[in-house]
Each structure stands twice: as structure tokens, then as C-alpha cells.
Amino acid sequence: MTNNMFRKLGGIYASLVCALTLSPVWVLASEAGMSAPVPPAGDTAWWVWPVVLLVVTFFMGIVAVLGGVGGGVLYVPIISGFFPFHLDFVRGTGLLVALSGALAAGPGLLKMNMASLRLAIPVALIASTMAIVGAMVGLALPTNIVQILLGATILGIVVIMFTAKKSAIPEVKQADPLSSALRICGIYHEASSGQDINWCVHRTPLGLATFIIIGFMAGMFGLGAGWANVPVLNLMMGAPLKISVATSKFLLSITDTSAAWIYLNKGCVIPMMVVPSLIGIMLGSFVGVRILKVAKPTFIRWMVIAILGFAGIKALTKGLGIELF
């Protein structure tokens, strides 16, 4: 089962990389395509867009919690697709949105020993380095190319969310030599069963290599990378689901930090966008946690997939200069 999922995941990654690099949309791409996005602010009062941003990110925060995704992956495609802000600023803000969520959750997860520092440190070293490279490449490429790649990536994420399964406690017959040498293992207390679960990981070299791609994409598009971290940690490396989710969340505080500095230093941070976005997402997350108790997770997950699919198509068509909707 796990091997099957691992193969499927590998196929998805390969397809995604091919889609990003070989897509014929490059031929159609032109900067002119970017001249027909959302109309500029015009005579709109200065406070209107920040207030709309606050309201939208509030709902985004609710949906993100209920759908089990990070804020960044919703923020970047939706705000870049439907708001007048340029993609450069949206990506910078998206990283800070994902970063603040990770900073808020990280300390608690580390103290509870759900997030593993031993697992995170080697992964973060690779992912954060590549996030810097991704941010530099993303800022050097023409906007429409980044927008097209963003659209393709978001649609790839939809495919991953659609197909990837999860394994609560994957079977790891034997830890690989690298993870044994680094002593990447641990024990966590499973409250639902009252048991202490011993865990270790395998396929560490392959897992670490995958974080080269994940880190690069996180930096390039300003996305948090929880959508990719969790399947790799859980299905590929065999970490228990709870450890994978918690370590992934904590990991974003490191990966997104490195890329955020590149965007910050390049001038891609406008406080009037950042602060309402952070407040909106945080308030929405608080409300989302409360709604989570009564919400139907399956319906919410389908809703998130639909929203991401819509936003991905919008990003793709916007990059191509096509006015679809």
C-alpha cells in the first residue's frame, strides 16, 4: 500500500516537474499577457483593498484550518488572481503568512515533542537553501512565466491532494543507514490510544533529495510547502502522520524564513498588505479551530480542492493573458 502510494507520488512529482519545464505554454507566454490582470486601484479609497484583504484572509484562515492546508498555498493563487496586487508582493506576503502560522504553531508542537527537531534540521538545511535559490530565480524570471508556473504548480497540488493517501503509522521495517547515523527517531505519546509510539524513518537520502524540489518551489512561488512536506515525510520517509504534520508545520518556520528574507531585501514587502493578511489569517484560524469540531471534513477538503483548482486555472490563464473569468 505504502509502496504503491510512494510510486504514485513519485509519478506525480515527475509529471509536475515535466509540466513545469516542458509545457508548451512557454511559447505562448509573453509579458503582454500580464497587462490584462485585475484593474488597478484607480479611484478606490486606500483603505478598501486592505479591508477586503482582511475579510478574505479571515475566511481563508477558516478554510485553511478546516481543509488541513497552510495559509500560503491558498493565499498566493487567490490573492494574485483576484486582487490588484502584483505577484511580487503577493509572494512576499504569502511567505510571511505561512511563516507566521508556523511560528505560532511551532513552539507548542516542539514542546509536545510532536514536531521533531532531529528530523527537521537536516531537511530544513536542504529546503531552506533551495528556497533561497527558488526565491532568487522566481524574482529574476518574468512575472508571466512565474504566474504560469504557479498555475501549473497549484493544479499539481490539486492532483496530489486528490490522490495522495495518508498512513497514520507507516511500517518502517528498518531504518536506513543515514537516518540511523543521524539518530532520526523518537517516541511520541498517542493520546487517543494512550500508547507511546516508537518511530524511525527510511529512504532518507531520497526524502532529502525531494526537499530540493520542495524548497525551490516554496521559495519561487511564496507558497508554504506543507502540501508537499507531509506526503514526503509520511509516505516516502515513513514518519507517523502526526509527527509528519507537526514537523512539516515547524519546518515552514525555517524554509519560509530563508525565502522571506530574499523577498524582504528585494523590497517585495508592503506593510499595508502584510499586516491585514496576517491578522485576517490568524483570526480566521482561531475561528476555524472552533468550527472544526462540528464541520464535515470530507466536504471541506473537496471545497479546498475546488478552490485551489479554480485559483490554479485563474493563475495559468492570467499568465497566458487569457481572460477566462
Partner 1 sequence: MSSKATEEQLLYANILEKGMLVGLLLMFITFALYVFRIMPAAIPLNEIAGYWSQPVHEYLVEINNNFLRWDHLPTGWSWIKLIGKGDFINFIPIAILSGVTIICYLAIVPGLFRRGDKAYAIMALAEAAILTLAASGLLAVGH
Q: Is 164 helix (H, G, I), strand (E, B) or coil?
A: coil
- Restricted to residues 79-98, the positions that interact with partner 1 (CB under 8 A) are 84-86, 88-89, 96
Instruction: Report the candidate in 262, 225, 254 with the shortest Cα–Cα distance to residue 92.
Output: 262
Dist. CA 200–CA 307, nearest whole Å: 36
Q: For partner 1, which stretch binds (CB under 8 A), given 226-234, 237-245, 270-278, 314-322?
A: 270-278
Q: Does 1 bind partner 1 (CB under 8 A)?
A: no
Q: Does 323 bind partner 1 (CB under 8 A)?
A: no
Residues 6+ apart with CB under 8 A from 313: 151, 155, 324
- Restricted to residues 52-81, the positions that interact with partner 1 (CB under 8 A) are none
Q: Does 41 bind partner 1 (CB under 8 A)?
A: yes
Q: Does 315 bind partner 1 (CB under 8 A)?
A: no
- The residue type of 15 is S
Q: For partner 1, which stretch binds (CB under 8 A), given 57-65, 66-74, 186-194, 296-304?
A: 186-194
Q: Does 266 bind partner 1 (CB under 8 A)?
A: yes
Dist. CA 170–CA 106, nearest whole Å: 23
Cβ closest to partner 1, residue 261 vs residue 310:
261
Please give the size of the binding site for partner 1, defined by CB under 8 A. 70
Cell digits of residue 22: 516542458
Residues 6+ apart with CB under 8 A from 212: 126, 127, 130
In angstroms, what CA-CA distances link 283 with 56, 59, 286, 287, 307? Answer: 11, 9, 5, 6, 20
Do the beta carbons of residue 28 and residue 320 sit within 8 Å? Answer: yes
Residues 6+ apart with CB under 8 A from 42: none
- Restricted to residues 112-171, the positions that interact with partner 1 (CB under 8 A) are 112-113, 117-118, 121-122, 124-125, 128-129, 132, 136, 139-140, 142-143
Binding partner 1 (rule: CB under 8 A), the pick from 4, 15, 21, 265 is 265
The minimum distance between CB 289 and partner 1, in angstroms, equals 17
Dist. CA 198–CA 189, nearest whole Å: 9
Dist. CA 56–CA 76, nearest whole Å: 12
**Binding track over 223-262 against partner 1, x by CB under 8 A:** ------------------------------xx--xxxxxx
Cβ closest to partner 1, residue 67 vs residue 207:
207
Residues binding partner 1 (CB under 8 A): 37-38, 40-41, 44-47, 49, 84-86, 88-89, 96, 99-100, 103-104, 106-108, 110-113, 117-118, 121-122, 124-125, 128-129, 132, 136, 139-140, 142-143, 181-182, 185-189, 196, 198, 253-254, 257-262, 264-275, 278
